Every structure is written in structure tokens, then in C-alpha cells.
């Protein structure tokens, strides 16, 4: 069976990592999987080699914004050349044209996957994507979402399958030795309190708010340092802001990493001040290594697994500063440990969830 997975990026984190997690834990017997992704300045992306090591073929294509006609002509040629049985598109509303052309070119199973809970477009694009959302069920044989909020957003009253953004619970198991070694490699002292941000550096993830919190914390008795893992369109702007706020010696930018599971061991608290989210895998990963995590009230409650997961409104930064200060004091008494059963019972064990996706392909 030939399958095409369409994702925007395989450069670490986000949907690309979710797809990799599923495929790397799936029984690939009788499955031949290709990954179609957008070029990023002609560079090899972080997950290209890992995907290839699984036997996947990685196909790069220019983003549609560089020319819609040229983009879809090339996409159609890829469909015609490879004759797929399944096309699984992870573009929310934008799955419509990809699945439409897939059906037109003989693809039997067309899977549309919702990874967000809001329409992120504005103006004319918003009108167009709302129309796409209404038409999408006509071209999708299977409807999937990463969570209830994402599913209700894209599919409304229609039935859909929830596939959680599951993780390898063995890989995200707290280890004191890994914590010690990682902190040493990052130049972190034993007494340093480290607050982390893991995600795409783009407006919807609200990394600027993270910097403001770090500034406010250091203006109080709660001295801390920040670590930012990820990349995105706000990367340079964030570095400039760090300098403006006199936080250059307080914040490390680690960029895109393929060892996030180890970096999380070194951190003491994670912040997720997102303006909107689908089902954030980084929140699952944080709780898997027994990290306290503070999320905005825009993040779904479905991702709260432990008592160390908190929600706050974005309107009141003082509450964020106060809670993180409290967490710092609690960390001195808390002995970190992992609890696989809690995460697994919530449906986020990839060894179980990957079987569900394989069943959808083979159905």
C-alpha cells in the first residue's frame, strides 16, 4: 500500500514530529510511505534522515505561496507518478485542494487531519478558508483530529476520529543523570531555576510574552534563567527583544533540536502562553518528564494530566509571575519522577495510538 503524508515542515517539532512519532512506532509491513513537505531555503530538514531511516521517501516541494499553479501542477505530477492508495493531509482547511486532486487522480482513501482549533487566517484568506472547511467533507473519506477542540472546529457536527499527539513514554522518562549532564552542557548551575519555552517562534505561540515573564521574574526575588527551544519567523525579533530587556545573560536560544527529551530533563518549569493551540505535544512531553507547566487558558483542558499542569489567562501577567514563583518554591521539595500510567491512560502512548492509524489506512 502506497501512502503519502503531506506536512508543512519536518524541521523538528510540530506536526512533522507528530507524523514521525506515528510512523516510527507503526508496523510498516506492507506499507510504503512518502513524506511531502515544503522546502525551507533548500536546506535538509532535521527529520529527513530519521524518516529515510524508516524507509520513507522524502519529497520537497516549493510552498504554494511561491506560485499556486506551479505548486499544484508539480503536486499532481507526484500523484500521477506514484499512484498512491492513501493521501493523508495535515493542513486543516487547506487539505481541500490536496485531497481534491488526490481523488481526481484515483486515490481511494483521502484523510484530512485537523491540528488546530481556530482559523488562523484574516481578511480574504479567512473567507476562502471558511469556504474550504465547508467543502472539505466532500473530498475526505476519513476525518481525523488531534483533539476534541480541533475536531469540533474543522468537522462541526460530523463524526471524526481523535488520534492523540502521542509520544514514546520510554523516551520521555525522567532521568536524574541525563538532567545533570544536560545542565552541565548548557552551563547551568545546580542552583539555577530554569524556565523553558518549547515551540515554534511565531505569534500564535506568544514567545514575546515568555520574555516579559522572565523579565518580571528577575525583577522580583524569583531569579531565573530562560531557555527557548525552537525556530520561526519571530526568531530574530525575539533576540532583539532579549537585548532590549537586558536579558542577554538570562536567556539561551537553542534553536531547533533533536534532543528535546533531554533538554526537558534540565528545565524546572515550562511556560506555554499560546494564543491558540490544537493539542500541543510539547505539553504532553513536559508532563511525561514530571515538569510543572503553566499554559494559557486558550490551551485545551484535554492536555491536563497531572496536578503540576496549570492554566492562567493571558490578560494578567502578574498571575503568571506569582505562580512561577510559587512553583520555584515547590520544586525545592518535589522529587521528580515519571508516571507512564497516567499518560498512557489518557491515550497518549504512541505504541497504542500508532496501531489505530495503521488500522485507518488498511480499513
CATH number of the domain within which 269 lies:
3.40.50.2000
Would you state the pLDDT for residue 340?
Answer: 84
Residue 267 lies in a domain: yes
Mean pLDDT, consecutive 10-residue segments, the chain of 363 residues?
A: 96 88 96 94 82 97 94 98 98 97 98 91 92 97 94 96 93 94 95 95 95 94 92 94 95 93 96 89 93 94 92 96 95 86 91 96 94
Instruction: Give residue 18's pLDDT.
Output: 93
Q: How far apart are CA 22 and CA 163, in angstroms?
A: 10
pTM beyond cutoff 0.75: yes
Q: Please, which residues have CB within 8 angstroms of residue 246's CB and are 6 or more apart in sequence?
A: none
> Does residue 186 belong to any structural domain of this protein?
yes
Task: Determine, yes or no, domain membership for 256.
Answer: yes
For 79, residues 6+ apart whose C-beta sits below 8 A from its C-beta are 4, 87, 101, 102, 105, 107
Coil vs helix vs strand at 294: strand
Radius of gyration over every alpha carbon of the chain, rounded to an integer in angstroms: 21
**Shared-domain flag, residues 150 and 283:** no
37 and 114 co-located in one domain: yes
Residue tagged 500500500 (cell numbers)? 1
Q: At what angle do helices 350-362 and 14-24 cross, to 10 degrees?
A: 80
Q: Is residue 318 part of a domain?
A: yes
Number of domains forming the structure of the chain: 2
pLDDT for the residue 73: 97
CB 256 within 8 A of CB 46: yes
161 and 282 co-located in one domain: no
C-alpha cell of residue 131: 469556504
Of 296, 320, 291, 297, the residue nearest 220 (C-alpha) = 320
CB 283 within 8 A of CB 257: no
Q: Are residues 130 and 189 in the same domain?
A: no
Residues 250 and 336 both lie in one domain: yes
Please report the pLDDT score of residue 42 as a whole number: 57
pLDDT of residue 338: 84
- Which pLDDT score is estimated for 300? 87
Inside any domain, residue 258? yes
In terms of domains, do 189 and 148 share one?
A: no
- 115 & 184 share domain: no
If asked whether residues 15 and 56 sit together in one domain, one would say yes
**Start-to-end Cα distance in the chain:** 12
Give the closest residue to 164 by CA, choosing from 359, 347, 352: 347
Domain presence at residue 354: yes
Taking CA atoms, 118 is separated from 65, 133, 275, 312, in Å, by 21, 12, 10, 19
Residue 206 cell numbers, joined = 506568544
* Phi/psi-derived region of residue 290, left when phi > 0, alpha when psi is between -120 and 50, beta in every other case: left
**Is 171 among the domain residues?**
no
Q: 40 and 144: one domain?
A: yes
Same domain, 330 and 253: yes
The string of pLDDT tens digits covering residues 129-140 is 999 999 999 999
What are the angstrom distances between the C-alpha of 273 and each of 197, 211, 232, 332, 343? 9, 11, 16, 24, 22
> Could you tell me the residue range of the domain that residue 64 belongs to?
2-166+349-362
Tell me, yes or no, whether 43 and 90 share the same domain. Answer: yes
CA pair distance 267, 163, nearest whole angstrom:
28
**Helix residue ranges per DSSP H, the chain:** 14-24, 48-53, 68-82, 95-104, 123-139, 148-155, 176-185, 207-218, 235-244, 260-266, 281-288, 317-331, 340-345, 350-362
Residue 278: per-residue pLDDT: 74
196 shares its domain with 138? no
Amino acid at each position: 500500500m502506497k501512502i503519502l503524508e503531506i506536512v508543512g515542515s519536518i524541521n523538528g517539532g510540530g506536526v512533522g514530529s507528530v507524523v514521525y512519532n506515528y510512523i516510527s512506532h507503526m508496523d510498516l509491513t506492507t506499507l510504503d510511505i512518502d513524506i511531502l513537505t515544503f522546502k525551507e531555503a533548500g536546506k535538509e530538514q532535521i527529520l529527513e534522515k530519521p524518516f529515510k531511516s524508516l524507509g520513507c521517501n522524502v519529497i520537497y516541494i516549493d510552498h504554494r505561496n511561491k506560485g499556486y499553479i506551479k505548486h499544484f501542477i508539480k503536486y499532481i505530477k507526484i500523484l500521477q507518478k506514484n499512484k498512491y492508495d492513501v493521501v493523508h493531509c495535515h493542513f486543516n482547511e487547506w487539505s481541500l485542494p490536496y485531497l481534491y486532486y488526490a481523488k481526481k487522480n484515483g486515490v481511494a482513501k483521502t484523510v484530512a487531519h485537523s491540528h488546530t482549533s481556530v482559523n488562523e487566517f484574516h481578511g480574504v484568506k479567512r473567507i476562502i478558508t471558511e469556504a474550504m472547511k465547508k467543502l472539505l467533507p466532500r473530498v475526505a473519506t476519513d476525518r481525523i483530529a488531534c483533539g476534541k477542540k480541533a475536531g469540533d472546529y474543522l468537522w462541526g457536527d460530523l463524526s471524526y476520529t481523535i488520534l492523540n499527539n502521542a509520544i514514546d513514554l520510554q523516551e520521555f522518562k525522567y532521568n536524574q543523570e541525563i538532567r545533570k549532564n544536560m545542565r552541565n552542557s548548557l552551563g547551568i548551575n545546580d542552583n539555577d531555576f530554569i524556565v523553558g519555552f518549547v515551540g515554534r517562534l511565531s505569534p500564535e505561540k506568544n514567545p514575546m510574552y515568555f520574555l516579559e515573564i522572565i523579565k518580571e521574574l528577575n525583577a522580583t526575588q524569583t531569579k531565573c534563567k530562560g531557555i527557548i527551544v525552537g525556530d520561526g519567523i519571530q526568531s530574530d525579533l525575539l533576540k532583539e527583544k532579549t537585548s532590549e530587556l537586558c536579558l542577554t545573560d538570562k536567556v539561551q536560544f537553542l534553536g531547533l533540536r533533536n534532543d528535546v527529551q533531554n533538554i526537558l530533563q534540565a528545565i524546572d518549569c515550562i511556560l506555554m502562553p499560546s494564543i491558540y493551540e490544537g493539542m500541543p505535544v510539547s505539553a504532553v512531553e513536559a508532563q511525561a518528564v514530571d515538569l510543572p507547566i503553566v499554559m494559557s487558558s486558550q490551551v485545551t483542558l484535554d492536555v491536563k494530566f497531572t496536578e503540576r499542569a496549570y492554566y492562567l489567562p493571558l490578560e494578567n501577567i502578574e498571575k503568571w509571575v506569582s505562580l512561577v514563583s510559587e512553583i520555584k518554591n515547590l520544586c525545592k521539595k518535589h522529587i521528580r519522577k515519571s508516571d507512564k500510567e497516567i499518560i498512557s491512560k489518557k491515550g497518549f502512548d504512541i505504541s497504542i495510538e500508532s496501531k489505530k492509524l495503521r488500522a485507518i489506512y488498511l480499513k
